[in-house]
Chain A
Amino acid sequence: MSGLDGGIGDASDWEGIAREAALGLRGDGRVEPASVRELLVFHLDATAYALPVDCVREIVRLRELTKVPRAPSWLLGILALRGEVVEVIDLRSRLGLGASRLDRSNRVVVCRGAEDRVSGLVVDGVTEVYRASEDLLRPASGLDVTMVSEICLRDDQFVSLLDFERLLGLEDV
């Protein structure tokens, strides 16, 4: 398990993080007490966000995407991944924070939700897998952003835990 690194994902960290996320999914025999949640933490600029590790399938570098004509601006394109063709979405744009400037440092967090819904989210970087005890989480009521379900305290930082289903659910933004 990585320590509370806080590093802004550079290339070497990223492999380890991806491996961890995958381990979290496969379940390497560790039994987690119910009150600990495993979150994949990533960031847009300096703001931290997270998704439950269960829904993260893999993390890949941003490569050339095939563009889709007449698509909304937040749909950056499609990517062929392990036999599936998956939409890649600009998370920043999806959250209403403007369009992303893309370069090789971006990462695509590929998520799988209920009923085989898959999507890739483009983020600025991936930080770590954070095991948060339940008492560090509180509901995000009162906030304006509809896609954030909870807020998590990590060191002295607030991490917005995103609701993947809601991220995918809105068809026309």
Chain B
Amino acid sequence: MHRILIVEDSPTMRSLLSASLEEMPLPTKIFEAENGFEALRFLPREEFDLVVTDINMPDINGLELVSFIKKNERYASLPLVIVSTEGSDRDREKGMALGADAYLVKPVDPESLREVVADLLTARSAPSAEG
């Protein structure tokens, strides 16, 4: 069972992201956080296998969340997928520089999202992971 955390402040987007991921061929349990604070609260409580996050959120933005996750020994190996708008090339660069694994542009194509997430999840659970 793969546990995925979605961090996105727009409720409609959140439920659409959720719905897209529920369609995956892999068994998944999806958790939703409305903002960075919630994500920070959920992280210590569950063993997540992947995090999907928006960038533009109030208070704690997605980049800060990524930075926190990567700095933290416990979560550093979590695959991170950033979902955000096209306009910010700089934000995308920063996101990847901070250690995110993938960057998808909104509106997200459900198929692409599923592919990316599936790849990251299977790579993670494969015994000889890094290549």
Asked if A and B touch directly (CB within 8 angstroms), the answer is: no
Question: Chain B: residues with CB nearer than 8 A to chain A?
Answer: none
A residues sitting closer than 8 Å to B (CB atoms) are: none
